[in-house]
Structure 1
Amino acid sequence: MKIEQYCVGQVATNCYFAVNGETKEMVIVDPGDSAQMLAEKIRQQGLKPKAVLLTHGHFDHAMAAGKLAEMFGIKIYAHEAEKETLENPHKNVSTMIGKSEAYHADVFAKDGEVLNLAGMELKVLHTPGHTEGGCCYYLEKEKVLFSGDTLFCQSVGRTDFPGGSMSGIVRSIREKLLALPDDVSVYPGHMDITTIGRERASNPFL
């Protein structure tokens, strides 16, 4: 598997392409903006999108999802507890940038569910705290975690938005993410890539 990282939008969100190197099938994780640019990158490389995966429903992660899903005829996935955040402009904080937008998902996954997409197995880990239905996607074979705004390099996600909880996010990380092996690479929604081991050893919030 190959992972491509693109920084998009007003708050420098990491959008990822998880690409099956053998088939060129891929999934798009958190396309928060720049739909046309992302689509061009896909077409230039001859990639075959199979799904959009949202770690949560904030505008800076979901804003371009609908456009990309329509362009490529694919479905958008999110955790089942995130429906209201996606659809409510107050909760998806699109009002912060002077908009009032509603987003959607086509498939609402459950905690622990394994999604078989693009020849990869992605386990949905419900990690509330940043939002009520925030989740991470774990690829056990590849030792990769897409952590959204739950876990950052030496930090954790904000909890002052609607549905946020500091005790909740710390509990989610301790129970769900620190249970993973130390050598799992963590691809967060903002800032630098890290590992579970590094965050276990030195993240000041944990």
Structure 2
Amino acid sequence: MIHEILAVGPLRCNCSILGDEISREAIVVDPGDDISRIMALVAKHNLTVKQILITHAHIDHIAGAQELKRLTGAPILYNQRDLPLVAMMDVQAGWVGMKTPEVAAPDQDLADGYVFSIAGLNGIAHHTPGHTEGSVCLHLPEQTLLLAGDTLFQGSIGRTDLPGGDLKTLLRSVHNKLLTLPDETLVIPGHGDSTTIGEERESNPFLQT
């Protein structure tokens, strides 16, 4: 599998490009900004983007999705429970000092248990509310990989003080959906450094209850 990670936008959101070496099909996760850089890597690997997946509808994760869709024709998938956040994108832009991006309803609801796939690569979406009502984590079992959005970080968890956030719900999501995965699962959070499920199970101070 081809896996490129770009820290995009002013908040340095981790955007993942997942591609299959044989089919050259690709998935882009959380294209929050810097679409020209994303497209340059797509071209470098001679990939065709087939899906655009959004872990949650905060501006730093979704802002570039419509532009990427125009360039690639790929559908945008995110959990429809985050539509209220999309409706307040102008407010979100004010939080971070960004221009309000063009956003739209998802082409497909990224619901719990949804199986996303391209030729040679597939995974499952786990609905993990708490950071937002529609937050999802993307698990690729064959690659022992989890794209955690802003649900789980190295030594931390997602903030819960923004609209749709709830600490008890987030902790329940992590314990019930993520800590059930194998310890060796590589975790790519929405921002910052990678970690593993085992490391977070053992040392994350938010999960020691």
TM-score computed with the length of structure 1 as normaliser: 0.94
- Aligned residue in 1 for 2:169: 168
Q: How well do the aligned residues superpose, as a CA RMSD in angstroms?
A: 1.4
CA distance 1:98–1:7, shift in 2 (3 Å): closer
- What's the CA shift string for 1:66-96, capped at 9, x where partnerless? 10111011101111312222232267x2221
Residues in 1 aligned to 2:143 and 2:194: alpha-carbon distance in whole angstroms? 15
Question: Per-residue deviation at 1:204?
Answer: 0.6
Instruction: Determine helix, strand or coil for the equivalent of 1:205.
Output: helix
- Aligned residue in 2 for 1:135: 136
Whether contact under 8 Å (1:29, 1:55) holds in the other structure is: yes
Residues in 2 aligned to 1:58 and 1:202: alpha-carbon distance in whole angstroms? 28
Instruction: Determine helix, strand or coil for the equivalent of 2:57.
Output: coil
Instruction: Determine helix, strand or coil for the equivalent of 1:147.
Output: strand
- What's the CA shift string for 1:105-132, capped at 9, x where partnerless? 2111221121222432221100111101
Matching of residue 145 in structure 1 with residue 118 in structure 2: no
- Aligned residue in 2 for 1:12: 12
Question: Per-residue deviation at 1:160?
Answer: 0.9
Instruction: Determine helix, strand or coil for the equivalent of 2:68.
Output: helix
- Aligned residue in 1 for 2:68: 68
Query: Letter of the aligned partner of 2:29 in structure 1?
Result: V
CA distance 1:98–1:37, shift in 2 (3 Å): closer
Matching of residue 41 in structure 1 with residue 7 in structure 2: no
Whether contact under 8 Å (1:20, 1:120) holds in the other structure is: yes
The number of residues matched between the two structures is 205
Residues in 2 aligned to 1:51 and 1:175: alpha-carbon distance in whole angstroms? 27
Structure 2: give runs of 5+ residues left out of the alignment: none
Residues in 2 aligned to 1:60 and 1:70: alpha-carbon distance in whole angstroms? 19
Moved more, 33-42 or 194-203: 33-42
Moved more, 153-162 or 116-125: 116-125
**1:113-128 superposed matches below 5 A:** 113-128=114-129
Residues in 1 aligned to 2:175 and 2:42: alpha-carbon distance in whole angstroms? 35
Whether contact under 8 Å (2:186, 2:197) holds in the other structure is: yes
TM-score computed with the length of structure 2 as normaliser: 0.93
- What's the CA shift string for 1:22-64, capped at 9, x where partnerless? 2221100101101122112212321111111100001100111
Residues in 2 aligned to 1:109 and 1:99: alpha-carbon distance in whole angstroms? 26
Identical positions, percent? 39
Query: Letter of the aligned partner of 1:49 in structure 2?
Result: V
Structure 1: give runs of 5+ residues left out of the alignment: none
Residues in 1 aligned to 2:81 and 2:130: alpha-carbon distance in whole angstroms? 12
- Aligned residue in 1 for 2:202: 201
Whether contact under 8 Å (2:64, 2:101) holds in the other structure is: no
Question: Per-residue deviation at 1:102?
Answer: 5.3
CA distance 1:102–1:129, shift in 2 (3 Å): farther
